[in-house]
Structure 1
Amino acid sequence: MKQLLEFLGVALLFQGAVGLAHSFTGALRGWGLIQRFGFLDGYETYASVALIVLACALFAALRSLGAD
């Protein structure tokens, strides 16, 4: 279970970073999921930052569980 949550955290961090790179530079078109959601038009940067914050919170929660 811990490995699955770690993978989810890495995926969230990657998607957030790709979303920010796309928002600021226009590069990496087609790599991120944020750009594919129509209801996030105009809020891609905020959603990308939210994904990065969620990934950090997930990593902090996993760290508090301790090493298994």
Structure 2
Amino acid sequence: MKELPELLGVLALIQGGAGLLNEFTDWDWGLVQRLGLLDGYEIYGGVTLLVLALALFAVARTQQS
């Protein structure tokens, strides 16, 4: 069951990085900038996803296979 937190962590890492890249380079891809809920708070959303990814990786590491 270790694979699920790892997969979710990778997805959160990619989306968080894409959200930050979008803010600083104006690339137009990723989930963070497409959510109307986060208008004006895209940087916070990207950082939150990166922190969530790190937490999911820590959970996956502590689980026994």
**TM-score by shorter chain over 0.5:** yes
| 1:29-68 equivalence runs, <5 A | 29=28, 31-66=29-64, 68=65
- Secondary structure, in 3 states, of the residue corresponding to 1:51? helix
User: TM-score by structure 2 length?
Assistant: 0.91
- After TM superposition, the runs of 4+ consecutive aligned structure 1 residues lying more than 3 A away are none
Q: 1 CA distance for matches of 2:56 and 2:14?
A: 14
Q: 1 CA distance for matches of 2:36 and 2:24?
A: 19
Identity %: 55
Residue 11 of structure 1 is matched in structure 2 by: 11
CA RMSD after TM alignment: 1.1
Residue 57 of structure 1 deviates from its aligned partner by 0.6
Unaligned runs of 5+ in 1: none
Q: 1 CA distance for matches of 2:32 and 2:49?
A: 10
Q: 1 CA distance for matches of 2:32 and 2:10?
A: 16
Residue 9 of structure 1 deviates from its aligned partner by 0.6
- Secondary structure, in 3 states, of the residue corresponding to 1:42? coil
2:3 touches 2:60 (CA, 8 Å); kept in 1?
A: no
| Number of residue pairs aligned between Structure 1 and Structure 2 | 65
